[in-house]
Structure formats: C-alpha cells, structure tokens
Amino acid sequence: MGRLFGTDGVRGLANREVTAELALDLSVAAAHVLADAGAFAGHRPSAVVGRDGRASGEFLEAAVVAGLASAGVDVHLVGVVPTPAVAYLTAAMDADLGVMLSASHNPMPDNGIKFFARGGHKLDDAIEGAIEDRLGEPWERPIAESVGRIHASPYAVQMYEHHLLSTVPQRLDGLTVVVDCANGAASGIAREVYSAAGANVIAINAEPDGWNINRDCGSTHLKPLMAAVREHGADAGIAHDGDADRCLAVDASGEVVDGDHILAILAASMSEAGALVGGTVVATVMANLGFKIAMDSAGIEVVQTAVGDRYVLEAMRADGFVLGGEQSGHIVMTDHATTGDGMLTGLHLLARMAQTGRSLGDLSAAVTKFPQVLINVRDVDLSRLADAPGVAAAVAAAEVELADRGRVLLRPSGTEPVVRVMVEASTQAQASTVAESIAAAVRAELALD
C-alpha cells in the first residue's frame, strides 16, 4: 500500500479516495494503535470529533464515529469547528484522540481526515505508519458496556472561543476589520470572536451551504476581501481558509499582507515583549529573502525547515521555540496553541495594530519582498537530480549572478515527477530569466524518455 498520510493527514476526493469505509477503518486502526501504545491505560478512552462544513463531512463524520465507538472509544461530537478548535478541545477535554474532517483550503469535492494525539498534538510519522499497517486487520470487538458512547458537545466551541479571547494582549476597540470566512468553519464564530475582542466586524463569505466552501473566496482567493476592505474603508482585512487554520491579511489600501509579513510583525512584537524564546522564529525554505533580511535587521534569528507546517512544528518543539509559520498563512504560536490557528493569528495581528497605533501597511513595510518566480518542471527523473552536473552548473552560475541580492531553491516534489525551481532576485525580470535558465537545464538533463 502506498502511504496514505501526507504532511497534513489523509486527503483526497471525497467518496472516491476518502470514503466512508476508509474513515471507519482508519478510526478503528487508530484506536487500536493508541491502545497498544498505552494511551488508554487505566481509563475509558475518549475522542473529540469535528468537521468543516463540506457536505461529505456529514457521512465521513458518521463513519469515524461508528469506527471509534465500535472500538470502545467514547466520542464527543463538537460539530462544525475550525481544525485548531479540535486540537485545543482534545487537550481541554482531556481526550485521548482528536479527529478533524477537513481538506482545509482544497476545493469542496475533496475532504480529509486528520488525527491529533492526547494534548492536541499531530501524530508523528511512526504512529501514522502503524495506523496504515493495521488497516483491515481482524480484531475482537468489544460488547455490552465496553462499546463507546456518543455525546453531542454543542458548548465545546464556546470553550475554544473563550480560549482565543483570553490570549489577546490588547483590545481591538476602534478597529474596523473585514473577515473573509471562506464559507468554512470560521463562519459560525469569527464575527462573534473578533467583535468580543472589540473590533467592528464586517463578515463576508460567511454563509456556508455545504457546497461553497473555499469557492472564489478565503485565503486562496483574496480579491473579494481586497474589494471589501476598500469599499468599507476598513483598517484591515483578515482571510481564513475552509478550516480556519490559515490567516492572510489585507491592509487599508487593499495590499496583501502574507504569512511572511505576519510572521515578521508577530516576531517583532514578541521580541519587544521578551517573549520570543531564543530570539528565534521558525520559517520554511520558501520564506522570502526579504523576510530573512528584515529579521536580521531586527536581531532575530531565523531557523528554516522543509515546506509544511508539520516540519515547522517539529523544529519548534525540538528547541522550545514559540513562533513559526509559512508564507501561506499557517502561523504557529505554541504559547497558545499546538497547531496553526488562523483566528488566533488574526487576533494577535490586529492587537499589534491597536497596541502600536500603526496601520497594517506600516507594520508590514518592515519586510520588503524580493520578486519571486516559481517554475514547476514536469516529467523529469527525480532520481538523477542529485547527480546532474549540468543542473548543478546552472545553479552555481545563478548563485554567482545573484550574490547576496537573491537566492535559488531547487527541490523535488514529494508527490509527482516535478522539480520545483524557485528564484528570488532584485527585479522580476532577473528572477524570471534566472529561473528559466535553470529550468531549461533541468529539462535538458533530466527529461523522461
């Protein structure tokens, strides 16, 4: 069997790749693996189960609940909530397992299954591998009082809301903000949370119907938010994705403030407060060079990881760092959360504006982004990339040309025969020219026959 788990759970086309049968089997296998690892020792096991608003989440939720309960796990159903809410509630409700049904920013036809261990932490690779290995195995089913019970927990989301508000260092009174909920999991609570923090809130794309999640809205489609900010004369716009674990922003003039900008703003704020452990922020290799230069200027060290928020989290946990994130808007603040949390990020970003009295455009100007070009070179032999002299020579020539005013990142895709060529340079024209020259070398030397 090929590996089911990607960098963020199991994800695919709902009812074709992510089926009710798979959801049930994964839940049973997860219960068995955690039980054998001693996670349930001495007590009756429990799990928190939530989902985003996709129509397919309804039947997948039923399958997950059936699997867990049949394996002897009590289930707390928390309904349609953000992914970080499930992570938080898994810890707050002292559950042994959390399960979130969502494909995050993916289109509506997709769905996914993500597991959290006790404490609300993502499962490590070894546990995920063990779950896959035990799919469909014969097992002795519990009976009578040993089967799991299912409890609706409609007030659990209020625990999450109270938690978010308890972290905000400065009220947002006087700020007008447009919040794009992506017709997703934030739709039911975003207006209430940001308003309770003091902001005047205009919510858009907050009418989910099961089909419209992420459709031309949210963090992957910022034009509606940009237009709404200008129309309402708002101080800022906040964009979440379908499961609200991302946050991107728009300033008062309608300019995009991406994850690099947000991470820099929060890093400066935490450094000023003496709360940035090790004076360090964690980012991926895709972070713009302008972000690194801004952090160097502020005396903040940057640790870089592979692409994926799980790798950011691993680096943070390994060395006790408290802030990390990605350009896409996954921001992790481990003083308050075990995973990326879009509303937590949005609240703290707006709080920095309120605290300093500065506009979002002014705060984000600390990072001057270098023009970036990304080319995906398809149908190539990835196995030969590490030993391709022509490609190596092209990269070396590019690095000499760019010197300290640009950079090259060449990496293979983990899911398809694609080499990703990313170049940053002082001008868009130079970035494009250099990227095309490297891509041409990759095609010439590694093209599949």
What pLDDT, on the 0 to 100 scale, is given for residue 415?
61
Contact 10/112 with Cβ under 8 angstroms? Answer: yes
CATH number for the domain formed by residue range(s) 167-364 = 3.40.120.10
- Residue 159 gets which letter from DSSP? H
Name the pLDDT band for 162 (thresholds 50, 70, 90): very high
Say how far apart CA 24 and CA 225 lie, in whole Å.
Answer: 38
Q: How many helices (H) and strands (E) does the chain have?
A: 14, 19
More confident residue, 179 or 7: 179
399 has a pLDDT exceeding 70? yes
Q: Where are the domains of the chain?
A: 10-154, 167-364, 372-446
CATH number for the domain formed by residue range(s) 10-154 = 3.40.120.10
Say how far apart CA 42 and CA 204 lie, in whole Å.
Answer: 47
Q: With 0-12 CB in 10 A as exposed, 13-18 as middle and 19+ as buried, what is 221?
A: middle
Say how far apart CA 56 and CA 108 lie, in whole Å.
Answer: 9
Same topology, domains 10-154 and 372-446? Answer is no
140 has a pLDDT exceeding 90? yes
What pLDDT digit, counting tens, does each position of 68-124 carry? 999 999 999 999 999 999 999 999 999 999 999 999 999 999 999 999 999 999 988
Name the pLDDT band for 6 (thresholds 50, 70, 90): confident
Hey, which residues does 372 pair with through a beta bridge? Answer: 424
Range from 117-121, 166-170, 321-325, 414-418 carrying the lowest mean pLDDT: 414-418
CATH number for the domain formed by residue range(s) 372-446 = 3.30.310.50
Q: What does the pLDDT average to over 439-443?
A: 95
Indicate if 104 belongs to the active site. Answer: yes
Residues in the chain: 449
1 has a pLDDT exceeding 60? no
322 has a pLDDT exceeding 80? yes
Say how far apart CA 170 and CA 160 lie, in whole Å.
Answer: 19
Residue type, 68: L
378 has a pLDDT exceeding 70? yes
Of 104, 219, 269, 271, which one is the catalytic site residue? 104
What pLDDT, on the 0 to 100 scale, is given for residue 7?
74
What pLDDT digit, counting tens, does each position of 246-256 carry? 999 999 999 99
**Mean of pLDDT over the chain:** 95
Q: What are phi and psi of 261, to 5 degrees?
A: -60, -45
